[in-house]
A = this chain, B = another copy of it.
Amino acid sequence: MMAKKPLNIGMIGYGFMGRAHSNAWRKVGNFFDLEYQPVLKAVAARNKAKAEDFAARWGYESVVTDWKQLIARDDIDAVDICVPNDLHMEIAIAAAKAGKMVLCEKPLARTTKEGEKMVAAVEKAKVPNLVWYNYRYVPAVTLIKQIVASGKLGRIFHYRANFLQDWTINPDVPQGGAGTWRLDVEAAGSGVTGDLLAHCIDTAMWINGGISDLSAMTETFVKKRKHAETGKMAAVGIDDAAAVMCHFENGSLGLFESTRYARGHKALYTLEINGEKGSFIWNLHDLNRVSWFDHSVEGQLRGWSSILVTDGDHPYLGKWWVPGLTIGYEHSFVHAVADFIEGLSTGTPASPTFREALETTKVCDAIIKSGKTRKWVSVA
């Protein structure tokens, strides 16, 4: 094994996503053969004690309390943005201007307007960039993408996906603050649309192409929640649930739904695509499996095949264990990192780039707009 070149990572944020990304940076070199080896150089966060604990736990070499310091440092190659959505734009643009590679947690931005500025910044600076739509990197999902792209399903008629959770049914869950900023429209931009549907939309367009128009229904079931920062009851500005009907550019129909009020479902992202010659179904709770219906199989033995995606010839799986031994949620981030680093060597960027991810933000904006206007909306 040849010596690897270092890739110095600067992490901004230390929450749930900070952990998921740090784990990926640390682990990728153990399993993938890449030209660059990530080095956990620094973490930036306002709370110094917590940042130091985080750094100790993950092996970051240093800590700064202002992300601007981190961006200003010469020893940082790539900036990884793991903070609430309202900070994405400012940090990403500053990082790009400083010539850093930028990896931004999804969604790209709260609005298309914000997102467009971010795209402009990274493209102007010509820095490698990625948005962490990690579910593209679940091997079963990657497999679906590859098979659909091969044309094996023929003409596509339907695509449907939903993302169902139940953690906000309790009206005592606050809005704002650590862990619950996703319920604060100022920090998050939207509710389930940007948080959950965005994943569904990103995967859908990756697999099935662009969306031309849509009609959405949005709902806020719990109208007021205490704000974690002010301690006062305040109107809830996010969408608790959203449903979307749409047309894809290829003529197929799309149906999407997301909610945090589907009792019993924890992180149930389910997708299905129906083509003339075959169909796929997948869900996140059973992420190593994919269901596949192949219409070309002889009649009596035709059925829905449950493929356990753990063989060496399945996407990314050759790097892990042996057939039958499964991987989990966190591996999707490792794959994203592996592709990102490989993209540095090959020049073919990992997906989705900021530009690609902007398309999802446009669709999300259209969903929110249609939910308010009760009209069909074109996705420009």
Residues of B within 8 A of A263 (CB): 153, 157, 274-279, 293, 295
Q: Can you name the residue of chain B whose Cβ is closest to the Cβ of A267?
A: B324
Chain B interface: which of A68-76, A117-125, A253-261?
Answer: A253-261
Chain B interface: which of A93-101, A307-315, A358-366?
Answer: A307-315
Residues of B within 8 A of A267 (CB): 322-325
Q: Is A36 in contact with chain B by the CB < 8 A criterion?
A: no
Q: What per-residue 1/0 map shows which CB atoms of A233-270 lie under 8 Å from chain B?
A: 00000000101010100000101010101111111100
Q: How many copies of this chain? A: 4
Interface of A is mostly: mixed
Docked pose: A22 CA to B26 CA in angstroms: 13
Residues of B within 8 A of A322 (CB): 16, 266-267
A-B contact pairs, 29 of them (CB 8 A): A1-B52, A1-B56, A16-B322, A19-B30, A23-B30, A157-B261, A215-B217, A216-B245, A243-B255, A263-B275, A263-B278, A263-B279, A263-B295, A264-B295, A265-B324, A266-B310, A267-B322, A267-B323, A268-B324, A285-B288, A285-B308, A302-B305, A302-B307, A303-B305, A320-B330, A321-B330, A326-B328, A327-B328, A374-B376
- A22-B30, A217-B247, A263-B274 known; 18 other A-B pairs, CB under 8 Å? A16-B321, A23-B30, A26-B27, A147-B301, A153-B263, A263-B276, A263-B277, A263-B279, A263-B295, A264-B274, A264-B278, A284-B325, A285-B288, A286-B286, A286-B289, A292-B301, A305-B305, A328-B331
